[in-house]
């Protein structure tokens, strides 16, 4: 491990905004960049109201703001809090609830990265005279031969977060730094010890900026927007009713726990119908397998897809191993994907992220799973 691996190729004394949560990753990034001679400004985004003196582990709650400020003070950095509560609600939370209400499962972290962290924050940083925004994401950026910017997986395959960044465009990536991309998590913790940071052994936080511990995200959103719950019937593979549920937003494809049905065998959610409120379940896990998907709202990092038809690897959720597939682009902004082998629990609303090895090609929003074709005639349902 060498600090030289983290050099970002910028002129000395560049002003860089570091998004700080108070955790080990972002604090190490700030320490790295300051050690390289840059003018570092620490920023914490306030994404939700904190409710007076209530302390939570949320990075946008009281203790998260305090931890970030303390980390910045320890490094002798100026620290700012940028209030994005209204924007976060309109650009991320509202969209997420609309997806749940439509029987889909949203990807709020991708929305937040595209619209807030690398949207609003980049604009704010530019107004402060900063050339880049740096974060603690485990991903890498490289400049290609002809000046195009490429997004790559992080070296630590267990921590790689390129999936959540796949909707960023060329202009955003030109002004973003991911200094932790060449490091593994243990190496980052070792750097924190080397820098003398108290957060070196801090525990991991998961989606803390979106939901507090003990809350169910979908139900929190329903209450926030005072929306009605779409109740309905739980049915089996044949359409026979098995029971009643209190809200379609409480379910997602592939879910096994929390299905309100007494059954002698395990059940999985296979599909949702927001129009009727029907939750379709199956007792055969293999019936969650599919040979393809359709997606829309495409965002290609290079500005366009590699071709009208091309072969690549497609990842359908964060903790999913990308699978080889044939991709066919169609107008105006859609693709169909045919996997080389069946993939389990393809979920409408989630992001399909397209890779060429470690390189991220882009992302789309999954609309539906699909069956095979003449090229790939597998049928699993």
Kindly report the three-state secondary structure assignment for every residue of 163-195.
HHHCCCCHHHHHCEECCCCCCCHHHHHHHHHHH
Judged against a pLDDT cut of 60, whether residue 303 lies above it is answered with: yes
Pairing of strands 176-177, 132-134: parallel
Judged against a pLDDT cut of 80, whether residue 60 lies above it is answered with: no
| Residue of 208, 204, 279 lying closest to 245 (CA atoms) | 279
Contact indicator for 24, 200 with CB cutoff of 8 Å: yes
Q: Is residue 209 among the annotated active site residues?
A: yes
Tell me what pLDDT residue 200 has: 74
Q: Provide mean pLDDT across the span 3-10.
A: 48
User: What DSSP character marks residue 116?
Assistant: I
Higher pLDDT, 48 or 285: 285
Pairing of strands 334-344, 323-330: antiparallel
Contact indicator for 22, 204 with CB cutoff of 8 Å: no
Indicate the pLDDT class of residue 54, thresholds 50, 70 and 90: very low
Tell me what pLDDT residue 381 has: 45
Q: Which of 2-16, 46-60, 242-256 has the lowest mean pLDDT?
A: 46-60
pLDDT over 70, % of the chain:
87
Tell me what pLDDT residue 49 has: 76
Q: Provide mean pLDDT across the span 301-320.
A: 96
Q: Provide mean pLDDT across the span 113-128.
A: 95
| Residue of 138, 133, 140, 177 lying closest to 161 (CA atoms) | 138
Q: Outline where 84-236 has alpha helix (H).
A: 85-88, 94-101, 108-112, 121-127, 170-174, 185-195, 217-224
* Residue 361 C-beta-side C-alpha neighbours within 13 Å: 20
Tell me what pLDDT residue 57 has: 44
Which pLDDT tens digit goes with each residue over 322-357? 999 999 999 889 999 999 999 999 999 999 999 999
Judged against a pLDDT cut of 60, whether residue 264 lies above it is answered with: yes
Q: Provide mean pLDDT across the span 352-375.
A: 86
Token reading at 37: 């001679």
What's the mean per-residue pLDDT of the chain? 89
d(CA 214, CA 326) in angstroms, rounded, equals 40
Residue 5, CA distances (Å) to 140, 147, 158, 184 in order: 12, 21, 19, 12
d(CA 131, CA 240) in angstroms, rounded, equals 60
Residue 313, CA distances (Å) to 156, 322, 371 in order: 19, 5, 18
Tell me what pLDDT residue 206 has: 56
Higher pLDDT, 203 or 245: 245
d(CA 371, CA 339) in angstroms, rounded, equals 10
Beta strands in 198-263 (DSSP E): 232-235, 241-245
Which pLDDT tens digit goes with each residue over 192-216? 999 988 887 776 665 556 666 667 8
Domains in the chain, start-ordered, CATH in brackets? 8-201 (3.40.50.620), 228-283 (2.30.30.280), 287-370 (2.40.30.10)
Q: Provide mean pLDDT across the span 230-238.
A: 95
Angle at 107 between CA 136 and CA 378, to 5 degrees: 115
Contact indicator for 230, 255 with CB cutoff of 8 Å: no
Q: Is residue 109 among the annotated active site residues?
A: no
308 burial type by CB count under 10 A (0-12 exposed, 13-18 middle, 19+ buried): exposed
Q: Which of 59, 112, 199, 291 is catalytic?
A: 112
Place of tokens 């549920």: 245
Q: Which of 84, 199, 209, 312 is catalytic?
A: 209
Tell me what pLDDT residue 379 has: 47
What is the value of pTM for the model shown? 0.91
376 burial type by CB count under 10 A (0-12 exposed, 13-18 middle, 19+ buried): middle
Q: For the chain, what is the largest distance between any 2 Cα atoms, rounded to a whole number of angstroms?
A: 68
Spell out a b/e string for 318-329, using b for 16 or more CB atoms within 10 Å of the CB, else e.
eebebbebbbbb
Rg (CA), the chain: 22
Tell me what pLDDT residue 235 has: 96
């Amino acid at each position: 491990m060498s600090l030289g691996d983290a050099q970002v190729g910028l002129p000395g004394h560049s002003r860089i905004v570091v998004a700080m949560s108070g955790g080990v990753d972002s604090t190490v990034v700030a320490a790295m960049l300051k050690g390289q001679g840059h003018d570092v400004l620490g920023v914490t985004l306030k994404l939700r109201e904190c409710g007076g003196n209530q302390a939570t582990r949320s990075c946008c709650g009281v203790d998260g703001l305090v931890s970030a400020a303390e980390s910045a003070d320890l490094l002798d950095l100026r620290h700012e809090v940028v209030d994005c509560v209204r924007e976060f609600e309109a650009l991320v939370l509202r969209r997420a609830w609309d997806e749940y209400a439509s029987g889909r499962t949203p990807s709020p972290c991708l929305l937040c990265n595209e619209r807030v962290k690398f949207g609003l924050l980049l604009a704010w940083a530019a107004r402060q005279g900063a050339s880049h925004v740096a974060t603690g994401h485990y991903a890498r950026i490289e400049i290609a031969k002809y000046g195009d910017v490429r997004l790559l997986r992080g070296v630590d395959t267990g921590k790689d977060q390129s999936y959540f960044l796949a909707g960023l465009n060329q202009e955003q990536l030109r002004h973003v730094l991911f200094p932790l991309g060449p490091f593994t998590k243990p190496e980052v913790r070792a750097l924190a010890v080397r820098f003398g940071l108290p957060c070196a052994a801090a525990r991991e936080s998961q989606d803390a900026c979106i939901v507090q511990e003990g809350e169910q995200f979908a139900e929190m959103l329903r209450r926030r927007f005072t929306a009605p719950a779409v109740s309905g019937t739980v049915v089996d593979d044949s359409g026979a009713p098995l029971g009643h549920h209190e809200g379609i937003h409480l379910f997602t494809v592939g879910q096994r726990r929390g299905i309100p049905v007494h059954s002698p065998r395990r059940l999985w959610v296979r599909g949702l119908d927001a129009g009727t409120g029907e939750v379709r379940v199956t007792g055969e896990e293999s019936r969650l397998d599919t040979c393809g998907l359709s997606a829309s709202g495409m965002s290609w990092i290079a500005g366009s897809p590699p071709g009208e038809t091309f072969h690549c690897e497609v990842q359908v959720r964060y903790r999913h191993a990308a699978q080889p597939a044939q991709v066919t682009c169609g107008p105006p902004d859609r693709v169909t994907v045919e996997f080389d082998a069946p993939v389990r629990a393809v979920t409408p609303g989630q992001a399909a992220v397209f890779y060429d090895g470690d390189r991220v090609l882009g992302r789309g929003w999954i609309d539906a799973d699909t069956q095979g074709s003449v090229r790939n005639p597998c049928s699993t349902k």
